[in-house]
Amino acid sequence: MNIKPADTSFTKDTLFQLLGNRRRRWAIRYLTHNKCTQLSELAEQIAAWEAGIPVEQVTARQRKRAYTSLQQTHLPALDEADVIDFSVTSGDIEVTERLETLDIYLEVVPSVPSRGVCIISASDWLVVWYYWR
């Protein structure tokens, strides 16, 4: 019996789709350091990052806005790409080994200006990253 390792690569289109949204990038960054978490914790942290405030100062409205978009859009997209295992009913989030592949691309993002183009060298091809705020 020949067992193949899990495929951790992504197509260019999938990379652009997964990394093309700031909330999704923040979710990936958070999940890199918190392999198992709850949707409520992730939403609260992302709301804090968006507002530039400590988690303790996040309002219910800010938290709900982040929670809803994560639950309905961003986490299902990451789940469909097998980056995470997300349970809509319980809010449980657990990362898969594919997450590490995405995190490599985020190493460049913090140093990129809020608008513009960044070219990231990735193995034998270039990713042209359109970074919109």
Q: What is the pLDDT of residues 35-70, one digit of tens each?
A: 999 999 999 999 999 999 999 999 999 999 999 999
Check residue 123 and give its pLDDT. Answer: 43
Per the CB < 8 A criterion, the answer to whether 79 and 70 are in contact is no
Domain assignment of residue 3, yes or no: no
Q: Is 127 helix (H, G, I), strand (E, B) or coil?
A: strand
- Return the axis-axis angle of helices 99-106 and 22-33, rounded to nearest 10°: 120
Per DSSP, the three-state class of 74 is helix
pLDDT recorded at residue 68: 97
Task: Work out the mean pLDDT of the chain and round it to a whole number.
Answer: 80
Q: What is the dihedral of CA 55, 16, 113, 109, to 10 degrees?
A: 60
Count of domains forming the chain: 1
Amino acid of residue 13:
D
In a domain? residue 5: no
CA distance linking residue 95 with residue 37, whole number of Å: 9
* Residue range 17-40, pLDDT digits in tens: 888 899 999 999 999 999 999 999
Q: What pTM did the predictor assign?
A: 0.74
Of 22-26, 61-65, 102-106, 110-114, the poorest mean pLDDT is in: 110-114
Per-residue pLDDT band for 77 (boundaries 50, 70, 90) equals very high
The reply to whether 7 falls in a domain is no
CATH number of the domain at 83, please. Answer: 1.10.10
In a domain, 1, yes or no: no
| Domain membership flag for residue 61 | yes
pLDDT band for position 108 (50/70/90)? low
> CA 94 to CA 38: how far, in whole Å?
9
| Residue 39 CB partners (closer than 8 Å, separation 6+) | 67, 70, 71, 75, 86, 91, 92, 93
Residue span of the structural domain in which 84 resides: 12-131
The answer to whether residue 6 is domain-embedded is: no
8 has pLDDT over 90: no
In this predicted structure, the answer to whether residue 117 has a pLDDT above a threshold of 50 is no
